[in-house]
Structure 1
Amino acid sequence: MSQGHLYDGHSGLRYEVTAAAAGGGLRLSMDNGWEDEIPSSLLSVADRSAAGLTLTRTDVPGWRLRLTAPVEPDVAALLPKRFGYGRWIDRVGIRPATAAFTAVAAAVVTFGYFAPTLLAPLVPPAVEQAYGEALVGDFGGKYCSTPIGDAALKKLTASLDARPEELNVRVIDMPIVNAAALPAGNIVLFDKLFEVVDSPEELAGILAHEIAHVRRRHVTAALIREFGVGLFATALGGTTGGNVDGFVSLSFTRRAENDADGSAIDMLRRANIDPAPTANFFGRLKKVETNFGSFEPALAYLSSHPLSGDRAQRFKKAARKDARYRPALTPREWTELRAICSSRPPS
């Protein structure tokens, strides 16, 4: 039996009682011979501590029974458990519940990370093509073109990719130091990029990186990740001019950037183009990461292409000391390509 005191909800008086298990309920008794039996279904645990526990009755407002510790096991067995965190959590315990919630949260985050990559190949090519055409059109008359410059760019693209006819690589006359992969095989090189690229081999590494994003469907995956699957159903309903900046600065996951670097190195190797100059380019940009005051024109490229010394080292290690690399372009082709926007009339 357990000792305690009772407030019956009517008189406001405190009664000293003894509690004992009795069949399917709790039997209360006092020294004067009073007894009462309460079904366990009407009892609720209001408080449980080392000092004891407090019970209430669901059918009698104000009724309260305080049982002092230790509570007899047969009495405690009749009483419902107090649900402090929620019924499911209280049944399994706070630690297992925390572990379960952590696992679910990790699964959700993992799905959110990998789902775009899995969904990207399922996007119909016609839909992606529509986005690409809309974005290319938004650049209007800012495309640069000269016979020798165009031929040099096509030559460089063909040396890196086995299906260059599927790619649309263009130079844009805009004051941005950047390069960007867009949907449906469109790649844009902004004219200011040529001010910070020292050689056609450096440009080859940058272009190969963007081609890799296209071939691996990173662009579509990034669109799904940033805007959601609904983008493909709604965004073309209006103009895309306001979205060009968003597409150009679209960020890829660290894994996508690593994959693109790996593919770019493979392209340079197949084309027999030295990857060391690309390492030099990344090395110069690494200095911008640590000293924002210098090499300021490269900041636009940094904003959409996360760089680090590790990436520079990766391209540097890919260079073979005994290799006889070929020039990516002839001196004349490189000169003409760098000047491709010089003869463009003002817009």
Structure 2
Amino acid sequence: MSLYSLARPLLFLIDPEKAHHLTFGGLDTLEKLGLPGCLMQQRIPADPREVMGLRFPNPVGLAAGLDKDGEHIDALARMGFGFIEVGTVTPRPQPGNPQPRLFRLPEADAIINRMGFNNGGVDAFVRNVQRSRFYREGGVLGLNIGKNASTPIERAADDYLHCLERVYPYASYVTVNISSPNTKNLRQLQGGDELDALLAALMQSRDRLADRHGKRVPLALKIAPDLDDEQIARIAELLLRHRVDGVIATNTTLARDAVAGLRHADEAGGLSGAPVKAASDRVIAALHARLGDALPIIGVGGVLSGADAADKCKAGARLVQLYTGLIYRGPALVADCARELRAPVA
């Protein structure tokens, strides 16, 4: 029996956001004491993958959102992830939406959140990244960027460009988050004309930054599960036109059909966990049908077992990320997924 399986019933008795901070406090303490065995119960098999020009030690990563400020990178790295993504970070600090803003739906292995990009701002974020041993030792680290809630949507590109410039020297790759449902009008940026203009500005900036820093950092776009086939087709077209390096599918959903009638089901925010899996897999498959092998897909949404991770890859993903599954299954989920996805030995 793992330490997490013992702790989870107690954590689930307290407010979810308080439990989140308590858990990270414990993880950081174990990390500082050098007790990785408490975090990682099983050895993660080596299974390197080349994606976006990067070498990933294994195909199982942490999704953005769990560590918004990059304060716990080293503790998370002890779980055996092949890569870690932190953020979403915004140019200026912001408190996010009023509490309560995080809700468990245990009957559905789900969470609803309306956090609203609560973070300490990009300058503090960069300092946290620089301090992490995982960064200094060359771990694959994705840095996820967004816009401040107070920035008008027509000026959103300014926020993304500012964050890109600040995080660029420290990122293995940068994710552009335009799909959170918890920042007003943000998903509007997934529309054709808005996305076309944003991607053009970002790719031009990336080229200038590559010249300045002497390295080309891949850019990935994170999209929503609540897209129809026409929207997916348009996004795929723009990803190829602008030569974006990858796409992360998907963020949380606004749909509630799968949790109707459950406590907290009517709370505003994005739904994650098991109920989003089918929608996420659908978007991955639709993207892959349009993109083929021209652009890699990172699959996230509803991964609560190794079999779920395998479904993402069957749909067309090259890598997978975990978020809500960790809350319900604990660190053992990383090893479960890594074993299921392990490439056959030639």
Range of TM-score over shorter length: under 0.3
Q: Which has the larger radius of gyration?
A: 1
User: TM-score by structure 1 length?
Assistant: 0.24
- Whichever structure has more helix as a proportion of its residues is 1
